[in-house]
Structure 1
């Protein structure tokens, strides 16, 4: 089948967006680097149409108030495939992958989502029925996969500054689109890196979850802000900037190890201006974020002789509440506490949520500063 040109929309930094659909109806969006060598043509998905899974269900834990999603179809996900069976690589005659054509950055709806594909506010009346103990809802929302590169291996930190800037533009574009979907209350971009974290694909990629509720971590933050003042996050940033735990600072962003960091490696990256999510970042903030974030990630990998497993979690304000007080931030955490040791959440942490940390945040910050200083500026390599 001959490739067909797709309509294009130009985003910030010269990134070009092209949208299409996979054979089963899932949305697929290509984000082309500025100056890309790719043309406007993209191959259509010629795979046989397969029925999409039924949207999962949620059950409420009445003792905690948390919603638990039961997405049983995720049991059958691919586990560490070889390069010739990589489901995130461009399709080939022998590999009927998820992305039909070659790409720079590609985003598509997850085949085995925890939320969606249903989008309507299904079951919302049950949410307000406080008299029912066994409360359930349909897991409306959406889960998307963000492919940072067509290469089989790597991570966000192995990308060029140009490619990182393209992904940032994709995060902003998808945050805006997902926030507008019926029933979505919070949008969460993240990257899991390393088998120790539970990664099942070595392909450089992240995900975006669009939740039908405000997540527990954000609810806790909102309670803290209500108790300590609307300027809490501003004061936290100012306090950290004046202290010894800063690991990297630019004109628009500061990275630091928090005063009460739980994990052996736990870094916060905050914009200096109050910004609720990626959509509100201006061009200078996005431009600086690309090389600064890459330098942080490469510093993390320079801590040891092998790549460090981590979760890179982009916390954003909810869609409908707290947008004037919740500042977006990256929270990067790793269980690696030494070259050959991991921190496991056992009795106290896992059962009671009562943490014991083995490494002082000041020590962790000094180690990371030294590692960051040892890596070249990503802008010099692009």
Structure 2
């Protein structure tokens, strides 16, 4: 892999990840861009014990532009984009409209009440999986998936070393139903200045399980699912894809590495190579369920930078809000107000439907 670092016209970093060592990455961003926005505010919710980012500048972010004006396509005459090169393999760059950043030029004043206010220090990056605007992750070659994983591991390494960063989260939103703003195949990376609520809850559960049983929660979940078999969708030597027994979403699949690892940096070459064929197979099964492109969120759960690393277990959570051909799962009263999920699809039936797509 060849890694090339350059900067965009407003000073943001951009990283090319290429399979070929002779790739020319000398193209320069010639756009006239406005100054970068200041970092967001973080406001503390004392009732929920959570931090909320207030990022008003994101209201102006690019929203579903015509395909010939896509900012994630390679630059061509008449359309200078976020990617100056005329072609590329995988590209990562700082988000122009970030939820977190190190540009501490704003004012972060007391807003009264019991809420503490501080700068939204951190970083947000965009990951373009391919220069092909009309492709999807499910159609990437195993070699391309391997390159994406290398890029995510590289960024996890760099972002974890930045001051104030406590957790690195790599994810993909796909589909208009999910609320994407750009249809080009891409993901994002958030470097949070705190450990997220979901991760805190998972690690607390793992700590209680260890204290109660002496075992590792995630290892035992994986072993139990492999033994039960009924919810396993697909598996190979290094990975297992299964529908969790208490799935929250109509179609939800977790992909576990068959050994414990903390984050993407710890994957071996063999494990990366084995991931692509299995994961893209699961994605194609999802698309085959109802004969439409399934909207989904794909979320890598990695260990925090400094806490709970011995408790965490690298895995991917993939889920769709589509519950039938013409029906979506909306987060209504119970889910949105109480955080109490009600799933309309039996997990064992979801797993069977996905297996049948093979």
> Aligned runs of 1:193-208 on 2, under 5 Å?
193-208=174-189
> Pairwise mapping of residues 243-254 of structure 1 onto structure 2 (< 5 A)?
243=228, 244-254=230-240
TM-score, normalised by the number of residues in structure 1: 0.88
Q: Distance in 1 between matches of 2:303 and 2:271?
A: 17
Answering whether residue 300 of structure 2 is matched by residue 319 of structure 1, we say: no
Pair 1:179-2:160 in alignment? yes
1:168 match: 149
SS of equivalent to 1:58: strand
Q: Any conservation in 2 of the 1:119–1:181 contact (CA below 8 Å)?
A: no
**TM-score, normalised via structure 2 length:** 0.94
C-alpha contact (below 8 Å) 1:222/1:326 kept by paired residues: yes
Matches within 5 A, 1:1-382: 15-33=1-19, 35=20, 39-101=23-85, 102-118=87-103, 133-229=114-210, 231-243=216-228, 244-371=230-357, 373=358
Paired positions, count: 349
In structure 1, how many angstroms separate the alpha carbons of the residues matched to 2:246 and 2:36? 44
Q: Structure 1 stretch 78-87 or stretch 245-254: which is displaced more?
A: 78-87
Q: What SS is found at the alignment partner of 2:290? A: coil
Distance in 1 separating the partners of 2:347 and 2:322: 14
Distance 2:90 2:141 in 1: 12
Shift of 1:49: 4.7
Q: Which moved more, 1:229-238 or 1:263-272?
A: 229-238
CA contact (8 A) 2:38 2:104 kept: no
Partner Cα distance (2:92, 2:120) in 1:
21
Give the conservation status (yes or no) of the 8 Å contact 2:104–2:119: no
**Would you say the 8 A contact 1:119–1:141 is kept in 2?**
no
What is the rounded CA distance, in whole Å, between the counterparts of 1:330 and 1:314 in structure 2? 4
Superposed displacement of residue 92, structure 1: 2.0
Alpha-carbon distance in 1 for matches of 2:94, 2:334:
37
Q: Distance in 1 between matches of 2:66 and 2:102?
A: 28
Distance 1:69 1:219 in 2: 18
Runs of 4+ aligned residues of structure 1 deviating over 6 Å after TM superposition are none
**Deviation string, structure 1 residues 20-41 (Cα, Å, up to 9, x no partner):** 11111100000012x58x6334
| Conserved 8 A contact 1:119-1:183 | no
Report the Cα distance in structure 2 between the residues aligned to 1:212 and 1:155, rounded to whole angstroms: 31
> Which 10-residue stretch deviates more, 222-231 or 65-74?
222-231
- Separation in 1, partners of 2:280, 2:292: 17
CA distance in structure 2 between the partners assigned to 1:155 and 1:55 by the alignment? 31
How far did 1:119 drift?
8.1
Q: For residues 193 and 158 of structure 2, what CA distance do their matches in structure 1 show?
A: 15
Q: How far apart, in 2, do the equivalents of 1:113 and 1:267 lie?
A: 29
Q: Secondary structure at the match of 1:30?
A: strand
For 1:275 and 1:148, locate their aligned partners in 2 and report how far apart those are by CA, in whole Å.
24
**Partner of residue 5, structure 1:** none
Mark the runs of 5 or more structure 1 residues left unpaired by the alignment: 1-14, 127-131, 374-382
Contact 1:26 1:109 survives alignment (8 Å): yes
Secondary structure at 2:15 match in 1: strand
Distance in structure 1 (CA, Å) of the matches to 2:320 and 2:104: 33
